[in-house]
Amino acid sequence: MPIATDEVPAKRERRKQARPGELLQAALELFVEKGFAATRAEEVAARAGVSKGTLFLYFQSKEELFKAVVHEAMGGKFEAWNEEFERFEGSTDEMLRYCLNSWWERIGATPASGLTKLMVGEAANFPELAEDYRRQVIAPGHRLIRRILERGVARGEFRIPDLDYAVYSVVAPMIFLMMNQHSQGACTPDGQPLDPQRFLAMQANALLAGFMVRTHGGAP
């Protein structure tokens, strides 16, 4: 009998496997947009194209859904990224620019970027979740950036007196950008989100102007 056991799932089955993902995506969008409390379970279901009851087939409660959304969006974005930087061979200023750009591609431009806005808004309501988020997202991100800066210093490319806080100089624009993208432009005077590439390019210049050892009149 040449028929494989799991050839093609029946249509019903296929939906079933897709459901949790569809619900998580819908929930992420709505939670990011409106916050946890202001999002109705039925809205999430509707956006995922199912009825209210179906949501509770896959998640025990709205709160469990929320936790699942956060944990799903946190999921190992850093492993591959970390490795990539291990193997990076160019100058550290190239590395930092590359870091900002690839961060944008891998995180900033994806739905996962809403996660930061979500956590900023809900950290006080879900402290354990905020803890997870710091451990699994913020801390690895910090370590990654710190390693880049340390490399720059070690190779004599950067001069950074206050390394601890220098990391925040790199992090701040990324977080600002995500807030901006997900807050109906609440941070820009015209209500339009920024152009991310343009913003990041400018930030990279500013950061490097601060970090780089200047030879005679140097940089940008």
Helix (H, G, I), strand (E, B) or coil at 159: coil
> CA 156, CA 204: separation in Å to the nearest integer?
19
Residue among 33, 47, 54, 121 that touches DNA (CB under 7 A): 54
Counting every residue written for the chain, the total comes to: 220
> CA 30, CA 139: separation in Å to the nearest integer?
26
Determine, following the binding rule CB under 8 A, whether residue 181 of this chain makes contact with a second copy. Answer: no
Is the Cβ of residue 37 or residue 206 nearer to DNA in the bound state? 37
Site residues for a second copy, 108-147, by CB under 8 A, read 116-117, 119-125, 127, 130-131, 133-135, 138-139, 142
Q: What is the number of other CB atoms lying within 10 angstroms of the CB of residue 215? A: 7
Is the Cβ of residue 113 or residue 116 nearer to a second copy in the bound state? 116
Q: Are 164 and 158 in contact (CB under 8 A)?
A: no
Determine, following the binding rule CB under 7 A, whether residue 56 of this chain makes contact with DNA. Answer: yes
Say which entry of DNA, a second copy, none residue 139 contacts (CB below 5 to 8 A, set by partner kind): a second copy
Determine, following the binding rule CB under 8 A, whether residue 36 of this chain makes contact with a second copy. Answer: yes
At position 68, the amino acid (one-letter code) is: A
Residue ranges in 35-90 assigned as alpha helix (H): 41-47, 52-58, 62-74, 78-86
Radius of gyration of the chain (CA): 21
Residue tagged 């799932």 (tokens)? 9
Contact residues for a second copy, defined by CB under 8 A: 33-38, 116-117, 119-125, 127, 130-131, 133-135, 138-139, 142, 159, 162, 165-166, 168-169, 171-173, 175-177, 179, 182-191, 194, 198-199, 202-203, 205-207, 209-210, 214-220
Contact residues for DNA, defined by CB under 7 A: 10-13, 15-16, 19, 39-42, 50-54, 56-57, 60-63
